Amino acid sequence: MKLADVPTPALVVDRRALDHNIATMSDALPGPRLRPHVKAFKSTALARELADAGHRTFCCATIREVEGMAAAGLGEDLLLANEVLDCTRLGRIVDAGVARVTVAVDSPETVDAAAAGGVREVVVDVDVGLPRCGRDPADAADLAARARRRGLDVRGVMGYEGHLMRVPADEKPARVEAAMRVLLDAHAAVGGELISAGGTGTYAVNRWATEIQAGSYVLMDTEYVPHAPAFRCALGLWTTVISVSRKGWAVLDGGLKALSMDHGDPTVTEVGDCWFVSDEHTTVRTRPDRPVRVGERVRVLPAHVDPTVAQHERLYVVDGDEVTDIWPVDLRGW
């Protein structure tokens, strides 16, 4: 199949950029030093590429992601790096013996849910400065004790310094160190072998975590590039020009239902600039010096990969003009 024959709108993955990104990260963080986050691409086929590159421990953000990874035979060590109040489905996976499942806990309620649902291993999620999930560090030891009383194995701690992914490069090392000092103190109180943290924006400077939870680096997006310049944008939305106005605009057949807008407009370079995005359309201001033809194909770069991928059923992997693989986005939903 040729790229020109891919029906639009469709997500296309540039094989060479993908290979560059995987190799670059594997060089920096080989094997279990990286725990790739599948939420960024939601595809077991792509996760298998990372396993082939030596990373066989994975992070998930949803129960569905854990179930899908387990069913795909990629369940050697799955960390659900998120809080869950009903762990029944996770417990079923553990009981079936098809995957090792660890879940994050940050409250008595989530500890009790893990125990009640049949999960046997947890990490204590620690607040390291991002206002989201995470236990107050001063209370981490108590929570670990509660988990152990409930019969859970506490594998260590995690703490996501998500608020530091986009700070200026000259401030980043010191601020990440300060956040990780909080996590290391909590770890000293909690115990266990895991200190899990980090992401694509901090992987290069986070020297304190035993493993980094990066995912965005695999496909990358326009918004993240300034904060992780070692990686290339590997994901594009492949569209068709369906209408051209002589008043100076053209319309692409991909819109809000194919592109997540929370990090801003997509980048259109070939035929003009993004003007606005509607449900099924992107209107592009055209340039007088660049004639645009109805039926022309245009690649658009999304501003935020993770929720964009979640809007699609499949990824077309492309090497030049050739489609080499079609990967189902099989980890969508919850």
Would you tell me which residues interact with a copy of itself (CB under 8 A)?
Answer: 7-10, 39, 61-62, 82-86, 106-107, 109-110, 127, 131-134, 136, 162, 240, 242-247, 249, 251, 253, 256-258, 260-262, 275-281, 283, 294-295, 304, 306-307, 310-313, 333-334
In whole angstroms, give the CA distance from residue 313 to residue 36. Answer: 21
Minimum Å gap between C-beta 119 and a copy of itself is: 15
DSSP letter, residue 240: E
Determine if the peptide bond prior to 9 is cis (ω within 30°): yes
Minimum Å gap between C-beta 122 and a copy of itself is: 14
The distance of Cα 82 from the centroid of its chain, to the nearest Å, equals 13
Give whichever of 151 and 295 is closer to a copy of itself, judged by the CB atom: 295
Q: How many residues does the chain have?
A: 334
Return the sign of the alpha-carbon dihedral for residues 31, 32, 33, 38. Answer: positive
CA dist 155 → 59, 62, 116, 291 (Å): 14, 19, 18, 60
Minimum Å gap between C-beta 218 and a copy of itself is: 15
Q: Which amino acid is at 28?
A: A
Give whichever of 211 and 306 is closer to a copy of itself, judged by the CB atom: 306
Give whichever of 77 and 306 is closer to a copy of itself, judged by the CB atom: 306
Minimum Å gap between C-beta 27 and a copy of itself is: 27
In whole angstroms, give the CA distance from residue 89 to residue 96. Answer: 11
Give whichever of 24 and 107 is closer to a copy of itself, judged by the CB atom: 107
Facing residues of 327 across strands? 315
- 306: its two tokens: 């993770």
Give whichever of 85 and 96 is closer to a copy of itself, judged by the CB atom: 85
DSSP letter, residue 171: T
Give whichever of 10 and 26 is closer to a copy of itself, judged by the CB atom: 10
In whole angstroms, give the CA distance from residue 154 to residue 277. Answer: 47
Give whichever of 59 and 234 is closer to a copy of itself, judged by the CB atom: 59
Minimum Å gap between C-beta 236 and a copy of itself is: 16
Please name the helix (run of DSSP H) or strand (run of DSSP E) that holds residue 316, with its range, or none. Answer: strand 314-319
Minimum Å gap between C-beta 223 and a copy of itself is: 13
Minimum Å gap between C-beta 147 and a copy of itself is: 15
Neighbours of 178 (CB within 10 A): 13
